[in-house]
Amino acid sequence: MGIYSQIKEQVSTREVAEHYGYKVNRNGMMRCLFHDDRNPSMKVDQNFICFGCQEKGDVIRFASKLFGLPAYEAAGKLIEDMGLTVSLENKPDVRPGIHKIAQLKRQDEARFRQTVDRVYNVYCDYFHLLNEWACCGKL
C-alpha cells in the first residue's frame, strides 16, 4: 500500500485540521483554506469539500495546501506531526519544516529555563544553609 493510503487510513482531514489549531464546529464545518472564507463553508470529515469554492480532496491535498508543500512532503510532515506509522520502504525523507523548527526552538528554550531554575534553586538552598550556619555560629 502506498504511503498516501496508509496515512488516509490512520487520520482524517478533520483530525489534521484540529491538530493544527483550526476550529471545526459541531457540524464539521471550518473556514476554507482555498478561498477567502469569512463564514465556515468547508466541510471536513475523512475528506474535505468547500461549498463556497467547490474545492475538495483528501487529507493529503488538505495538508499540502495547509503547509504550501508538494503532496509528498506534506505526507512526510503528517507522518511526523501526527505520529503515524507507515511501512518504512515507502517513507519519504522528512525535512524539518518551519513548524518543526519553531517547535524545536521552543523545546530548547524550555530546557534552558529549566536548567537555569534548577541552578538558581541550588544556589538559593546553599545561600540559606550558609545563613543558618552563620546564625547558629557554625561559621
Taking the least distance from each CB to Zn ion, the nearer of 57 and 92 is: 57
d(CA 28, CA 49): 11
Residues 8-47, mask of contacts with Zn ion (x by CB under 5 A): ------------------------x-xx------------
Q: Quick one: which of 29, 53, 82, 84 contacts Zn ion (CB under 5 A)? A: 53
Is residue 50 part of the contact set for Zn ion (CB under 5 A)? Answer: yes
Q: Quick one: which of 28, 47, 49, 52 contacts Zn ion (CB under 5 A)? A: 52
Return the beta strands (E) in 24-135 as ranges: 29-30, 42-44, 48-50, 56-57
CA-based nearest residue to 100, from 67, 62, 60, 58: 67
d(CA 32, CA 85): 28
Is residue 51 part of the contact set for Zn ion (CB under 5 A)? Answer: no
Taking the least distance from each CB to Zn ion, the nearer of 35 and 106 is: 35
Q: Which of residues 108-137 bind Zn ion (CB under 5 A)?
A: none
Taking the least distance from each CB to Zn ion, the nearer of 36 and 89 is: 36
CA-based nearest residue to 50, from 33, 73, 67, 66: 33
Is residue 92 part of the contact set for Zn ion (CB under 5 A)? Answer: no
- Main-chain dihedrals φ then ψ at residue 43, nearest 5 degrees: -90, 125
Residues in contact with Zn ion by the rule CB under 5 A = 32, 34-35, 50, 52-53
